[in-house]
Structure 1
Amino acid sequence: MLALSLLLLLQAAPVPQPRDVRPELTAPAPETRDVLLRRQVARVALAQVRKQDDAWHPDQRDCAGLIRFAFRTAYKNVAPERLSTPLWRNDRGQPADFADAETLLQQSFTPLGRDEAARDSVRTGDILAFRQEHDSGPVFHLMLVVRPEDRAHAPARVVYHPGEKGAAVRTGLLQNLTTEAPLEWRPVPNNAGFLGFFRFKEWMP
């Protein structure tokens, strides 16, 4: 679970309205499949902040579930043929419809790094990951990046589900997370709980 102070920090950030999101989705760019997929991931993720889609099963509403739902919906809208086989890999590396946060990181995403250069390179659809140690064992948490293709338009945001049953999806500025969150939730190298930034393997060059 996220610290209450982190929830309050990111909840306080204004939620983009459709007119704010549209430039992210329509900024001039080569109309490649990956560009269109990133735009759709942004659209789906931010829509969950305003109202969670009934198609997103309540039993899968957690941080990893948001990633799975946003990606699957994006592929359904842009490249449905890809869904003839599952998007994800299980802990044995085999195609699977379901993967928890840890397995997503290990099997379906590749690390970009943990430093400022990696943070500057992230694009919409990339994720940042944390691991917190609890008495019951490690807990992984994922946040999705939404960043305008034209960076002068608006700063990068994170979108995430805090994990609690019935909780709302939240969004806030990546820079605020970096500078104002409790240390254990800051995406910075001196936070041992920060695992780094990650990108979907199929989107790697």
Structure 2
Amino acid sequence: MRAVSCEPTTRIVIADGRAHRVGLLRRIIGAAPSPEGLTATGTNAGRVSFLAEPDGATAILYRAPVGGGATLLQIKSSSQSWLLPLHSTRTWSDHVGDGLPDALRLHDADDRLRFRHWFTTVADRAAAMPDADLPREITDCSALLRYSYRIALMNHGDRWYKQFQPGSMPVLPSVTQWNYPNTPLGAGLFRVVPVHAAIPQASDFAEYADAKTLYSRNSFRVSRDIRAAKPGDLLFFHQLGPEQQYHSMIVTGDGAEWVVYHTGPDGSGAVHSHGEMRRARITDLLQHPDFRWRPTPGNPNFLGVFRWNLLRED
């Protein structure tokens, strides 16, 4: 006689990146196995966790992959095993209404922190590079944001690290909910068209987006008070004039005390400049000799502190 029963609670889950309750383990007599005594195997075993219930049962939780698809989980205790067939159905829902599918928001606090660590690490590393070593795609402030965002969402495994000199990149945990480019959007990370319907579409996204588009369609304002900024947040400026230019900076540092940015090309003088990476203390930026670059509420050119839409908390 089997000492513990496994009761599936569902066979179909929404592929939204959240943890879903898919089964319950119950002991026929006494308590179910503790979460510490259980393991999972299978293609998506890393997405399984266990939770002790108040009634003595143990819940099986499964974080659905955002791409959807079928999987067969095998749950094991020291004396028994159980099979759980599951199917994840892809969703394009957007309960916030900002144009980003819910499945691509980072629902787990640890994942949001992992993203911030990678995003700021990549930006700081770019700022420390000699100009000759800077990735060729980083040609202005928006390119720095796109590059850092994309790298932050990759799976940083052994194969990824092999492209760098040993020790030149820190060993940090990767985002677990999903990794670029393995999403329903593929390489199209950035919304480039206005939010026109409740359900986003793949054609709404692209690999390229300028600073204005990143500001208006891919991030949300947190505050116009710089003290609200966290590492990985963004500062946007709109410099009025003939070109109506938008500019961005990345907040870095453990205490959110630095900004990193690319100046972008400058052809206004006698000699054309391709621009350069810069890193500055926010305290110095607040005293910038040109008031237009001060991140203060009294500066009409300062749009505020912004945060990526995928970092919205549930």
Higher helix share: 1
Deviations 1:167-198 (A, max 9, x none): 22100101111133421110111111111110
Percent of aligned pairs with the same amino acid: 27
Q: Who is 2:170 aligned against? A: none
Q: Deviations over 1:120-140 (max 9, x none)?
A: 2211111111111222x3000
Q: Which residue number in structure 2 is paired with residue 92 of structure 1? A: 194
Which stretches in structure 1 are left out of the alignment for 5+ residues? 1-29
Letter in 2 for 1:202: L
Residue 142 of structure 2 corresponds to residue 64 of structure 1: yes
Supply the AA of the counterpart residue of 1:143.
Answer: M
Higher relative contact order (CA 8 A, sep 6+): 1
* Corresponding residue for residue 26 of structure 1: none
Give the counterpart of 1:101 among 203, 206, 211: 211
Q: Cα offset for 1:147?
A: 3.1
Indicate which of 76, 81, 85 corresponds to 2:179: 81
Instruction: Tell me the distance in 2 between the aligned counterparts of 1:46 and 1:123.
Output: 15
- Secondary structure of 2:237's partner? strand
Residues matched between the structures, number: 166
- TM-score relative to the length of structure 1: 0.73
- Taking structure 1 as reference, are residues 71 and 89 closer, same or farther at Cα in structure 2, changes over 3 Å only? same
| Match among 147, 151, 155 for residue 253 of structure 2 | 147
Deviation at 1:82, TM superposition (A): 4.4
SS of aligned partner of 1:110: strand
Residue 142 of structure 1 deviates from its aligned partner by 0.3
Residue 184 (structure 1) aligned to one of 274, 292, 304? 292
Distance 1:35 1:159, change over 3 A: same
Distance 1:107 1:73, change over 3 A: same
SS in 1 for 2:230: coil
List runs of 5+ in structure 2 lacking aligned partners. Answer: 1-107, 157-173, 196-203, 266-272
CA contact (8 A) 2:264 2:276 kept: no
CA RMSD of aligned residues (A): 2.2
> TM-score, structure 2 length as denominator?
0.49
Distance change (3 Å), C-alpha of 1:55 and 1:187: closer
Change (3 A) 1:53 1:122: farther
Between the aligned partners of 1:63 and 1:130, the Cα distance in structure 2 is 11
Q: What is the correspondence of 1:1-205 to structure 2 with a 5 Å cutoff?
A: 32-51=110-129, 56-58=135-137, 60-76=138-154, 77=156, 78-79=174-175, 81-83=179-181, 84=183, 85=185, 86-93=188-195, 94-115=204-225, 119-135=226-242, 137-148=243-254, 151=255, 156-164=257-265, 166-205=274-313
Query: 1:181 and 1:157 mapped to 2: Cα distance?
Result: 18
